[in-house]
Amino acid sequence: MLVLINLLGVIVFLGVGALFSKNRKEIPWRIVVKLVVVNIILAAFFNVSPIGRNLVRIAAEGFTAFVNVAYVGIGYALPNWVYVEQMNFVTAALLPLLMIVPFFDILTYFGIFPFIIRSIGKIIAVLCQTPKFESFYVIEMMFLGHTEALAVSKIQLQKMALDRVLAIAFMSMSCISASLIGAYCSMMPPEYILTAVPLNVINAIIVVKIIMPIKINSEDDVIFGLDEKKERPPFFAYLTDSFLSAGRLIFIITCAFIAFVSLAALVNAILAFFHPALSLENILGVFMFPLAFLLGLPADEAFILAEYMGKKLITNEFVVMLEAKDVIQNYSPHLRATLTLFATSFANLSSVGIIIGALKGILTEDKMAVVSKHAGRMMLSGLLVSLLTAAIGGIFIW
């Protein structure tokens, strides 16, 4: 019965997207259905097939070993932060970024990373029948995160039609950053984190095809800026900038984490004046409960997930993962999977502001006025991608 509810959830989430579509008549349902089937096959491969499960296990172990290398440097500089019974959040999840971010930047400097993005992008373009730039962008977004992907796509965004810019903005709500995968894997089941990454990519394309269906002529399907050869700075100057960027990222995430948790605690303290049992989590859980129930969970587990879902949307995925990491092993396999799959994205209210802020430095004021009006659809797209990833990825985990 719960499996049928889970499958029904996939249909309902697609229907909600169609309800808020800018042009329902142009939705390419044949392509959408094909992509849903592709994602179901991927989910089955990663969760049922022995080969797929081994690949995910090897990848998870690889990420864990990769992150553990970072603790050598951290432990040398801050031994009383590392060699303790329980590392704090900043040490365990964020300080490894001081190694991970430069590693990816080095791959970019020598052209390895761009080659990987282009190669996967070509496959996505054929498989998903998606325009060239959107195919490259969704892969850039998966590896780089939304602000970095928008920044490197500045020339293209300035030249393309406004509807395509909106589609890119919607896609940006669904990404993660490859440099943060290690941090996520340290808090949540890594096999589900790694399963969420490819599912998010295809689900982002599905949701955009529903909410913002666009027909593009072949002559307009060109890529500007990606092939331009820029003079590279000296390697060690480049590497120093990468170190500083990693440090800024850690500082920003830490500040956001403290601020969001503190503000949520303040709201809960205010609500407690009206009723001791009243809290932000409970209120959000009520609103998110129907969506959580459609993920194939019994009522009691659906409410637990609903509270986490609401908290993620108004704070961020780190708040949810840190809160869940010590108790997630006590949950049922399906709840563990759906919670982890849903949490693995940047889909939250702060991301809407970040994306709009990034686009302000790229687009004209006229275009920005239109983009800002679609902030609600932007948030909806991120929510739907997370729901579809949790629904499809959880079908085979019980």
* pLDDT per residue rounded down to tens, the chain (398 residues): 788 889 899 999 999 999 998 888 888 899 899 999 999 998 999 888 888 888 878 877 787 788 788 889 999 999 999 888 777 878 877 788 888 878 878 887 887 877 777 777 777 777 777 777 777 787 777 766 676 677 667 777 777 888 888 888 888 887 777 667 877 888 889 889 888 988 988 899 899 999 988 776 655 555 544 444 556 788 888 889 888 888 887 887 788 778 877 887 898 889 888 888 788 777 877 888 999 999 999 999 999 999 899 888 887 888 889 889 889 999 999 999 999 999 998 888 778 877 887 787 778 888 888 888 888 888 899 999 999 999 999 998 88
Q: What is the pLDDT of residue 152?
A: 66
pLDDT given at position 227 = 44
Can you give the pLDDT at residue 39?
92
Q: What is the pTM of this model?
A: 0.82
At 166 the pLDDT is 85
Position 219 scores a pLDDT of 52
Half-sphere exposure of 230 (CA within 13 A, CB side): 10
Note whether 283 and 264 are within 8 A (CB).
no
Q: Can you give the pLDDT at residue 342?
A: 94
> What is the predicted pLDDT for the residue at 367?
82
Helix or strand run (H / E) with residue 49: none
* Residue that the structure tokens 């761009």 belong to: 114
Hey, what's the torsion of the CAs at 300, 305, 308, 310, to 10 degrees? -100
For residue 339, the model assigns a pLDDT of 95
Q: What is the pLDDT of residue 225?
A: 45
C-alpha distances in angstroms, 178 versus 80, 101, 146? 28, 9, 11
| Structure confidence at residue 390 (pLDDT) | 95
What is the pLDDT, as a whole number, of residue 328? 92
The residue length of the chain stands at 398
| Torsion sign over Cα 189, 192, 198, 201 | negative
Token digits for 183? 């941090």
